[in-house]
Chain A
Amino acid sequence: MGSERAPGGDGRGDTAGDADGADAPIAVELDGVSKRYGETAAVDDVSLRVREGEFFTLVGPSGCGKTTTLRLIAGFEESTSGTVRFGGESMAGVPPEDRDVGVVFQSYALFPHMTVGENVAYGLNFADPPEGTTRDERVADLLDLVDLPDATDRDPESLSGGQQQRIAMARALAPGPDVLLLDEPMSALDARLRERLRAQVKRIQSELGITTIYVTHDQEEALAVSDRVAVMNGGTPEQVAPPRTVYRRPATRFVAEFVGDNNVFAGGVVDIPEAGELAVDVDGGDETHRVAVGGDEEAEAEEATATQLPDIGDRIAFCVRPEHLRVASADKPAGGETGAPAGENALRATVASAEFLGETTRVTLDWGDRELLVRAVDPLDGAVTVGFDPSDAHVIDVESR
């Protein structure tokens, strides 16, 4: 069998790791925060709660307001309206130096006229090192933490990008901030290094248990490191949820298409054969498809994903991940190697192009006048049939008649 699926959907059982954090006190809270520049709102009425010790990520395309949100939290910008609270206390009018935050920028912003040691020690001018440690010991500890123990006397410019990023991290952590703010700290690095560093950032974060707010445009990075993710678009978060939920149960069409590859279908509900299942007449298709709804309590617990149950006559949009579309050559018997079940949600399409990615192949199919993305193990060509299990379809939008 090609894929391993538990009946009743994949959405279950992925909250174990988050559940114990759910009761933690709120470290940072945004309450109806907006930031407007003239007519345009960079951040539009954002309300978020970040728990203590949580690794929280703001992800979205450029211009979605994620960096502005971070700068509002750091105190570099004043919000036009709304309140930022740290531990329940309003931060209105509190300058950045009094907020106990550590910030790492995309450019690292190491002070070019100071050595690495002086950079890391800079925050200790304004905060005492932990009891029983001297300034120098604190610097040494942090350089150890980021695996650069011998860099103290070096010139920041003599270090590689990845090393500079780690020094910036050590510098931000040295005064022992309450909240660590990371603004695209890895986007200037190459892919391989980025993967290694994000693991290190994650390790340091969980070792120290520090509340961390991370800004990135890279959805893969967001899924990899976060406890929870806020997917932002047009100045507002469209979904705030653990990575698995965001991936499997996207709340909106934007989230569905921004996080990972996806196939979004639209159509009208023609029948409700049984509870939790819909028969949908998909636009551009010539058959009625069956789509499952509901059945993912943990997703509904995250308020942002709650969608109303559709009725007959409603128009809906639903998505199916490429890896959940099973595909077989049209001339092969149904239920062949690729395991496409006969009759169930079958579509006929032709292969347009294929990208070999190693583990799998990412295949683009022409289906009518639109494209579908599928994953395949074996090479594909020509006419194919595509099928998906009703429980792999996720309803993202309902438009009542």
Chain B
Amino acid sequence: MTDDAGRTGGGDGPLARARTAIETRSLTALAVLTSAALVVAFYYPTATVLIEAVVVDGAVTVSVFAEVLTDPFYFGELARLLSGESPAAVLGSLLSPDRRLGIVGFTAYQAVLSTLASVALGLPAAYLLARFEFPGRRTLRSLTIVPFVLPSIMVAVGFVATFGDNGTLNAALAALGLPPVDLLFTLEAVVIAHAFYNAPLVARVTTAAWESVDASAVETARSLGAGPVRAFVDVVAPQVYPAVLTGAALTFVFTFGTFPIVLALGGFQLATVEVFVYRLVRDLSYAEAAALAIIELVISLGVLLAYLRYEARNSTSTRGARPLPRRPLVPPAPTLRELLPRAGLGVYSVAAGILFVAPIASMILASVTGGDGALTLDHYRFLIERQQTGAAFQVRPWPAIRNSLAFAAAATLLALPMGVVVAVLTTRRYRGRTLVDAAAMAPLAVSGIIVGLGLLRGLVFGVEIAEWRIAASGAVAIVVAHAVSGYPFVVRTVSPGLSGLDRSLVESARALGASRARVIRDVELPLVWPAVVAGAAFAFAISIGEFTSTVVLATGADAYTMPVAIERFIGRRLGPATAMGVVLLVVTGLSFVVIERLGGDHRGL
């Protein structure tokens, strides 16, 4: 090999040159395609809705905003402050017992309560997962992701089955001879349901931070004279605390924008902003809905921004040299200091176990229990009858299953390449990277109602471009909406893997002659393949469980999915809804097994 024949690889023909050209530009091309998809599927539709809040009858105005902001119905006593009353008077009425919070105030209030409950429930789990060793610890750690992808409407049904008048909780209380409690349509039920969703999230981020505390740092503090408690307060807590705040901030944002849980468990009497936006949309008050949605978005983004600024100031990169050794769950010595925390964890585990298992178990139980309390398959029979004899306007089970699976598969196929491209673009370092990151992640922050509405009025009703009327079917719009809400999770699972890859792997491949796109295909993707599969599972699960934008887009169309079907069935007896919930649970579970199998075959590592 005396010349460079090996390098050019006999690629002098026009075909080979074209291929090289495509390869070198394919990353750019994919980036452009992804951006275009985002504009069509997210930015344009969202903008068309939001613009209604400030453009009335063709003129720009802030009157809609002003009305919303000064309406005590939305802002409670704060509205009076915004409409010019003296702060002292407003403060006085805020402190009085019969204060009005308004819808926004109530939404923030329940979000704060939900956040506190999630942190209180999540921290002991993090302590257990980060500091103790026991069989099944890894499995339990992985399971903390499950509530996050459970279809919210199904969880809501599970909660109704648990806390409802004839729910398992009251059945258990009756068996103990205690009076029944009525938790349904109360703030407590909503807060508990939110904790069900978000406590595992708090536990996850906190566990990760706790595990990355360097044991050497704790040992150094000990050697310098700090006792075990003092070392925890001075060294461990400051490194875990930011993660708890991360979990809390995310929980606040998620619960501030909550929709299906409140719709099913709270009804309109406990309406949050998002529920009210939905109601306004149904009443065709688009301008007011848009204004309210913008205010919601501003508050959510404000919290996220404040949090990100805090994080930037307090971020410390942990070297993660040596994690703290885990303690065995079986106490090594029967001393009070060893027994007390374990006893506490035992009590916690029972309570948490009930909270996390009860809704699903109750739903399954309710689906096979008749009105008289006897075991029955009536509810499933109802589903079959409805399938055979249901009228055209009625929701039938099979189309819901078929639609759900088809939409989820299509949405995953769309979300996966988008997510991978964005992950590649945001793990590389360049100016303006944070901007790209933020623009790509925006779908997470914007109300699903607004996205749904934008797609409905933009894509489904059609857009006129140069005398061509371009309109998509409701099904296409749903797939697009699902892909948009699912792909940020692909980004979030693939990015850490990509940024964790040794740069010299990429550089070696480049030096050997591979184009940037080839390196992604040949080196990076195979190495992060498990994360890609996990991302696909995420996108699929998000799509299957998506309710908010689907319920908007499925109006009138027959493109309803399983979650929509569940919601329609709730109106009647609970039985059919729980049966549909079990169907959703089984279909989702089987899909996960299939994705795991498909992905497992070409696992790169």
Contacts and interface: CB of A to CB of B under 8 A. Distances in A.
Interface of A: 74-76, 95-99, 101-103, 105-113, 122-123, 125-127, 157, 168, 171-172, 174-175, 177, 181
Contact of B223 (A74, A108, A110, A112): A74
B319 interface: yes
Contact of B216 (A96, A99, A107): A107
B222 A96 contact: yes
A123 B227 CA distance: 12
A95 B222 contact: yes
B224 interface: yes
Contacts of A99: 223
Contact of A122 (B227, B234, B319): B234
A107 B225 contact: no
Give the 3 A-B residue pairs with the shortest CB-CB distance, closest first: A126-B225, A123-B224, A109-B216
Interface of B: 214, 216-217, 219-228, 231, 234-235, 238-239, 314, 316-319, 321-322
10 contacts: A103-B219, A107-B216, A108-B216, A110-B217, A122-B221, A122-B234, A157-B316, A168-B220, A175-B225, A177-B223
Nearest to B317: A157
Given A102-B223, A171-B224, 12 more contacts: A74-B219, A95-B222, A97-B222, A105-B219, A107-B319, A109-B220, A109-B321, A111-B235, A122-B221, A122-B226, A123-B224, A181-B223
Contacts of B234: 111, 122
Given A112-B316, A113-B239, A175 B224 contact: yes
A107 B321 CA distance: 7
Interface centre among B214, B220, B234 (most CB of A within 10 A): B220
A99 B221 CA distance: 12
Contact of A127 (B216, B219, B225, B321): B225
Question: Is chain B's binding surface mostly helix, strand, loop or mixed?
Answer: helix
Contacts of A181: 223
B239 A123 contact: no
B224 A102 contact: yes
Nearest to A99: B223
A122 B225 CA distance: 9
Contact of B226 (A97, A105, A107, A168): A97
Contacts of A107: 214, 216, 319, 321-322
Nearest to A168: B220
B339 to A, nearest CB: 19
Nearest to A71: B219
A103 B319 contact: no
A97 B223 contact: yes
Contacts of A111: 217, 220-221, 234-235, 238
A101 B241 CA distance: 29
A76 B219 CA distance: 7
B219 A126 contact: no
A126 B226 contact: yes
Nearest to A113: B238
A256 B120 CA distance: 60
A105 B219 CA distance: 9
B314 A113 contact: yes
Given A107-B214, A109-B219, A171-B220, A123 B225 contact: yes
Contacts of A127: 225
Nearest to A121: B224
B333 to A, nearest CB: 11
A96 B227 CA distance: 8
* B222, B235, B238, B317 — most chain A CB neighbours (10 Å): B222
Nearest to B225: A126
Contacts of B316: 112-113, 157
Most buried by A among B223, B225, B234: B223
Contacts of B221: 111, 122
Contacts of A103: 219-220, 223
A362 B216 CA distance: 40
Contact of A97 (B214, B225, B318, B319): B225
A126 to B, nearest CB: 3
A96 B222 CA distance: 6
Contacts of A157: 316-317
B178 to A, nearest CB: 48
B244 to A, nearest CB: 14
A108 B226 CA distance: 18
Nearest to A177: B223
Contact of B224 (A76, A97, A110): A97
B315 to A, nearest CB: 9
Which of A95, A113, A123, A127 neighbours the largest number of chain B CB atoms within 10 Å of its CB? Answer: A113
A108 B321 CA distance: 10
